């Protein structure tokens, strides 16, 4: 499947930045709240909520935080009305960027995103100016330690996965967007440990960047990720790992 080698590099980048994001719980709580609002507060009957709760537990979020977020989504506690938005942009070196956000004020969010882009050599694009360069897919990550690759692949395909690949210490299972939660339930039922499940924009091809554009791109992506309203950033770049990590 196109995009896997590029996606591997992007995940290396994200693994480094996620550790620095002090607002990670805020992002996880927003997803739980939106999932509960859209599909109800019972995770057994709401696959998106089940996935959001599992992702929060994987980050050691306290049980009371999760329960409060669910109650805000169902209206049992006063909460904020969030909406899903996606922004398309170009970064330094001509890199295409997809920005997923959950916001209660799209006007504020687009202004913040535009400001980060303009200060770091990027610019906001119009609808479908960038999206056509990506495939929207579900991505499920299973810790590979001690597992037989063929057996895990068989379970993934039985659950309805489209693709399966090993990347470093994880198996990455790819699904159609609408199948993400159902496939995750099948993976869970098989007794496999899911470390993360998410919707991603996987690049069909990539742009090689190095030197100053690479440094500027890393700064831009990190600043976009730090925005409270931004849930996830995907981009179609390739670069040396040393430049990606700042080593």
Identify whether residues 224 and 115 lie together within a single domain: yes
Report the alpha-carbon distance of residue 79 to residue 91 in Å, rounded.
Answer: 34
Question: What pLDDT score was predicted for residue 3?
Answer: 46
Q: Are residues 121 and 162 in the same domain?
A: no
Q: What pTM value is reported for the model?
A: 0.86
Burial of 146 (0-12, 13-18, 19+ CB in 10 A): exposed
Same-domain status, 182 and 221: no
Q: Are residues 142 and 185 in the same domain?
A: yes
Q: Is residue 225 part of a domain?
A: yes
Range of the domain at 154: 135-203
Closest CA to 48 of 201, 199, 233, 202: 199
**DSSP state at residue 94:** G
Q: Do 199 and 152 lie in a common domain?
A: yes
List the chain residues with pLDDT less than 50. 1-5, 7, 21, 247
CB 244 within 8 A of CB 237: no
Adjacent-strand bridge partners of 197: 140
Yes or no: say if 183 and 156 are a contact pair by the CB < 8 Å rule. yes
pLDDT at position 59, please?
Answer: 87
Same domain, 142 and 226: no
pLDDT tens track for 112-166: 999 999 999 999 999 999 999 999 999 999 989 899 999 999 999 999 999 999 9
- pLDDT in the model for residue 80: 85
User: Are 172 and 230 in a shared domain?
Assistant: no
For 61, 173, 185, the CA distances from 46, given in Å and listed in that order, are 20, 21, 11
What's the rounded Cα separation, in Å, for the pair 143 and 246?
Answer: 26
What total of structural domains would you count in the chain?
2
CATH code of the domain covering residue 228: 3.30.70.980
Decide if 155 is inside a domain.
yes
How confident is the model at residue 245, as a pLDDT? Answer: 64
Q: What is the pLDDT of residue 240?
A: 81
């Amino acid at each position: 499947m196109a995009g896997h080698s590029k996606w591997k590099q992007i995940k290396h980048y994200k693994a480094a930045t996620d550790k620095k994001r002090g607002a990670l719980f805020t992002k996880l709580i927003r997803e739980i709240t939106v999932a509960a609002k859209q599909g109800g507060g019972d995770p057994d009957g709401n696959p998106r909520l089940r996935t959001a709760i599992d992702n929060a537990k994987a980050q050691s979020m306290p049980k009371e935080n999760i329960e409060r977020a669910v109650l805000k989504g169902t209206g049992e506690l006063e909460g904020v009305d969030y909406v899903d938005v996606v922004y398309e942009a170009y970064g330094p070196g001509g890199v295409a960027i997809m920005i997923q956000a959950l916001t209660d004020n799209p006007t504020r969010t687009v202004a913040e995103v535009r400001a980060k882009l303009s200060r770091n050599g990027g610019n906001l694009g119009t609808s479908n100016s960038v999206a056509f360069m990506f495939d929207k897919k579900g991505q499920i990550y299973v810790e590979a330690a001690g597992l037989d690759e063929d057996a895990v692949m068989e379970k993934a395909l039985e659950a309805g996965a489209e693709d399966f690949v090993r990347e470093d210490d994880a198996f990455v299972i790819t699904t159609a967007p609408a199948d993400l939660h159902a496939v995750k339930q099948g993976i869970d039922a098989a007794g496999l440990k899911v470390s993360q499940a998410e919707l991603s924009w996987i690049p069909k091809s990539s742009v090689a960047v190095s030197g100053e554009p690479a440094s500027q791109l890393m700064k831009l992506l990190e600043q976009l990720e730090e925005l409270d309203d931004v849930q996830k950033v995907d981009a179609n770049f390739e670069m040396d790992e040393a430049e990606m990590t700042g080593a």
